Amino acid sequence: MSTEVFIGVDLGGMSAKASCLSGEGRLAAVVRAKTDIEDSPEKTINTLARLVREAAERGNVPQSSVAAVGVGAPGIIDCETGTVEEWTNFGWKRIPLAERLGSLLQKPCFVLNDANAAALGEARYGAGKRFQDSVLLTLGTGVGGGIVFSGRLYQGYKGAGGEIGHTVIKLGGRKCSCGRRGCLETYVSTRALARDALSEAKKHKDSKLYLLWRERGTADGFLLFDALKRGDACAERVFSRYIAALGEGILNLANLLRPQAVILGGGVSAEGETLLAPLRRYVNARLTAGDYAPLNILAATLGNDAGIVGAAEYARQRFS
Amino acid sequence: MSTEVFIGVDLGGMSAKASCLSGEGRLAAVVRAKTDIEDSPEKTINTLARLVREAAERGNVPQSSVAAVGVGAPGIIDCETGTVEEWTNFGWKRIPLAERLGSLLQKPCFVLNDANAAALGEARYGAGKRFQDSVLLTLGTGVGGGIVFSGRLYQGYKGAGGEIGHTVIKLGGRKCSCGRRGCLETYVSTRALARDALSEAKKHKDSKLYLLWRERGTADGFLLFDALKRGDACAERVFSRYIAALGEGILNLANLLRPQAVILGGGVSAEGETLLAPLRRYVNARLTAGDYAPLNILAATLGNDAGIVGAAEYARQRFS
């Protein structure tokens, strides 16, 4: 490893993970610790400090070679000061995470939103590494992501941008947790997909989708894709509406920002070409100036490491 | 004027305008020339060259003090090479405008999309000058605009971004000229506003809106605002739907990019607080993290000069 190493931390509600990122973009072994909703911010920050030291040890990096630490954290983050403005789940409010962790470690610390960290990781070392500008769209229980321009994150004023899931694609549409109606998230999250599959299945009790659901007892994103692979017409109807909603969301990003790549993350993206091929067809048929300025639609490649890699890369960019 | 002067040109389908921008951001007298759809690209480019020389003379700037020229042009522009990829109206296709104008003038020339030029002008010298990041949303016959980050334009890959009017806010909604359905433009352009006003008026023949329309014989944006100022309930219904659609479009921009300011341009923006006050109420009531990272909604201040100022500023940024 080069002499200057950056450590990335991915802080979540169940666990925190950390690892060293070398100058060549390789990640060392990932170390983990539990996080607990009952713990005070102080205790959680102590856990993070211990985890960072452990990550350095496991990566055979002397503490003196650790240049800086980046932390991807949930909630609303003031990325300039590294303060967690609000992490509702853990009851955090205005916690100066960068400052406190930095003083424990005696290293510069930088904090950013976890979805933005994943976007930066994928952009620099994952699916987006051939491109200057890319947008990550994470299709999970919710829909998040981040925007990378010229290899750097665009986080908006005080880091409040990048809320891709909370852009309305249907005025007066489905009620969203954010209070608005018709947000992209309410149509393309895995939760929405599972719910739409179940609702369509119940209308067609002779469909493979319905039979699969009865067999398994749960409706999730996999149910739809499994029925789809068995050539079920009912599943195809649900899927084609899903592709249209997701496609329109991607076209919106393309017309507004025209990145060279939109990278899809989250569980659904593991479906690969089953998802990507029809999505590319939908988008390319409707993309203005698409021949001239084409858009690549790709699946994320870093999986669960994207956040750690991106947090470390963020520390590198902020440090230099 | 300082010794280094940049000339901005605003190229349109009816006329071209040009002026000198001083280092302090002051515009000299604006000179004009007609443009004609019948003219060859060569002839039009000769007209621009003459106009640039005239702008220097009128600004009392010796040719030797003109550092570079910026041109805001309609259509699809490759801003890296300064090529007009396609200007449908004039039948231009792959015209290397920057190169040809530059060789006529023996000066570096830079070309960008006209809406982006206006956005840069407003951002640096107009309504956005107090802010690092701003988005211009121009409400005209169409809806355009541009995105400015850290004082510089974000134009997307090959300049194909910034098409704010062509982001879908209503899946399966109104048919748009771009081929998609439900684009922001189909709900918030002055054309859409006039059509909605007329359609509502015809349903309520006792309304002031209807009477005004019968009196004038034409439906345009002014009709609605005039009826509104007379306290007409019918006009208020149309207006409140307009505010909701425009508000949702602005909330989408805010959640995705969280600029510090959204600047409204175009004819409708001249209505000032009549438009801005209800729009701010709508947006602020729904803006995530709005207390923490507020959004300013402002009217453009440079009027028709925004494109010239922005084109000159673009030349300054690219030149240095």
Contact between chains at B248 and A158 (C-beta distance less than 8 A): no
Per-residue pLDDT tens digits for B72-95? 999 889 999 999 999 999 999 999
Q: List the structure tokens of B104.
A: 């006529």
Contact between chains at A252 and B286 (C-beta distance less than 8 A): no
Q: List the structure tokens of B152.
A: 């510089």
| pLDDT confidence tier of residue A60, bands split at 50, 70 and 90 | very high
The strand pair at B296-299 and B261-265 is best described as: parallel
| pLDDT confidence tier of residue B232, bands split at 50, 70 and 90 | very high
Quick check: B2 pLDDT over 70?
no
Quick check: B61 pLDDT over 50?
yes
Mean pLDDT, chain B, integer: 95
- Cα–Cα distance measured from residue B36 to residue B289, given in angstroms and rounded to the nearest whole number: 49
Q: What mean pLDDT comes out for the span A6-21?
A: 97
- The CB density around residue B46, as the number of other CB atoms within 10 Å, is 15
In order of A295, B228, B279, the CA distances from B223 in angstroms are: 42, 9, 19
Dihedral sign (CA A279, A280, A285, A289): positive
Per-residue pLDDT tens digits for A17-47? 999 998 778 899 999 999 999 999 999 999 9
Amino acid at A53: R
- Burial classification of residue B39, based on how many CB atoms lie within 10 Å of its CB (0-12 exposed, 13-18 middle, 19 or more buried): middle
Mean pLDDT, chain A, integer: 95
Shortest distance between the Cα of B128 and any Cα of chain A, in A, equals 14
| pLDDT confidence tier of residue B221, bands split at 50, 70 and 90 | confident
| pLDDT confidence tier of residue B3, bands split at 50, 70 and 90 | confident
- The CB density around residue B82, as the number of other CB atoms within 10 Å, is 25
What string of H, E and C letters represents the secondary structure of chain A?
CCCCEEEEEEECCCEEEEEEECCCCCECCCEEEECCCCCCHHHHHHHHHHHHHHHHHHCCCCHHHEEEEEEEECCEEECCCCEEEEEHHHCEEEECHHHHHHHHHCCCEEEEEHHHHHHHHHHHHCCCCCCCCEEEEEECCCEEEEEEECCEEECCHHHCCCCHHHCECECCCCECCCCCECECHHHHCHHHHHHHHHHHHHHCCCCHHHHHHHHHCCCCHHHHHHHHHCCCHHHHHHHHHHHHHHHHHHHHHHHHHCCCEEEEECHHHHHCHHHHHHHHHHHHCCCCCCCCCCCEEEECCCHHHHHHHHHHHHHHHHHC
> In chain B, whose CA is at the least distance from the CA of A282?
B180
Instruction: Give me the residue label for tokens 């071209």.
Output: B16
Shortest distance between the Cα of B297 and any Cα of chain A, in A, equals 14
> In chain B, whose CA is at the least distance from the CA of A254?
B161
- Range name among A154-158, A249-253, B166-170, B203-207 with the lowest pLDDT average: A154-158
| pLDDT confidence tier of residue B248, bands split at 50, 70 and 90 | very high
Quick check: B42 pLDDT over 70?
yes
Whether the Cβ atoms of residue B275 and residue B265 lie closer than 8 Å to each other: no
Q: What mean pLDDT comes out for the span B226-238?
A: 96
Residues recorded for chain A: 320
Residue B75 or B34, more confident: B34
Whether the Cβ atoms of residue B318 and residue B13 lie closer than 8 Å to each other: no
Residue among B94, B135, B169, B171 with most chain A CBs within 10 A, to mutate: B171
pLDDT of residue A210: 97
pLDDT of residue A22: 86
Predicted complex: ipTM over 0.90 = yes
Whether the Cβ atoms of residue A98 and residue A315 lie closer than 8 Å to each other: no
Contact between chains at B157 and A258 (C-beta distance less than 8 A): yes
| pLDDT confidence tier of residue A116, bands split at 50, 70 and 90 | very high
pLDDT of residue A65: 94
Contact between chains at B256 and A147 (C-beta distance less than 8 A): yes
In order of A142, B139, B213, the CA distances from B263 in angstroms are: 30, 10, 30
Shortest distance between the Cα of B220 and any Cα of chain A, in A, equals 24
Quick check: A178 pLDDT over 60?
yes
Shortest distance between the Cα of A304 and any Cα of chain B, in A, equals 23
Contact between chains at B292 and A160 (C-beta distance less than 8 A): yes
Quick check: A2 pLDDT over 80?
no
Per-residue pLDDT tens digits for B103-125? 999 999 999 999 999 999 999 99
- Nearest Cβ partner for B168 among A172, A248, A295: A248
pLDDT of residue A3: 74
Quick check: B1 pLDDT over 50?
no
The distance from CA A285 to its chain's CA centroid, rounded to whole angstroms, is 27
Quick check: B133 pLDDT over 80?
yes
Model confidence, pTM = 0.95
DSSP bridge pairs for A27: A21
- Cα–Cα distance measured from residue A173 to residue A178, given in angstroms and rounded to the nearest whole number: 13
- Cα–Cα distance measured from residue B282 to residue A235, given in angstroms and rounded to the nearest whole number: 39
pLDDT of residue A1: 43
Residue among B157, B176, B253 with most chain A CBs within 10 A, to mutate: B157
- Cα–Cα distance measured from residue B106 to residue B64, given in angstroms and rounded to the nearest whole number: 10
Residue among A79, A133, A148, A157 with most chain B CBs within 10 A, to mutate: A157
Per-residue pLDDT tens digits for A222-240? 899 999 999 999 999 999 9
Q: Which residues are CB-neighbours of A46 under 8 A, at least 6 positions away?
A: A104
Q: Which among A89, A113, A112 has a CA at the least distance from the CA of A41?
A: A89
Taking CB atoms and an 8 Å cutoff, what residues of chain B touch A182? 169-171
Whether the Cβ atoms of residue A288 and residue A252 lie closer than 8 Å to each other: no
Read off φ and ψ for residue A67, nearest 5 degrees. Answer: -80, -45
Q: What mean pLDDT comes out for the span B213-226?
A: 92
Contact between chains at A156 and B167 (C-beta distance less than 8 A): no
pLDDT of residue B78: 93
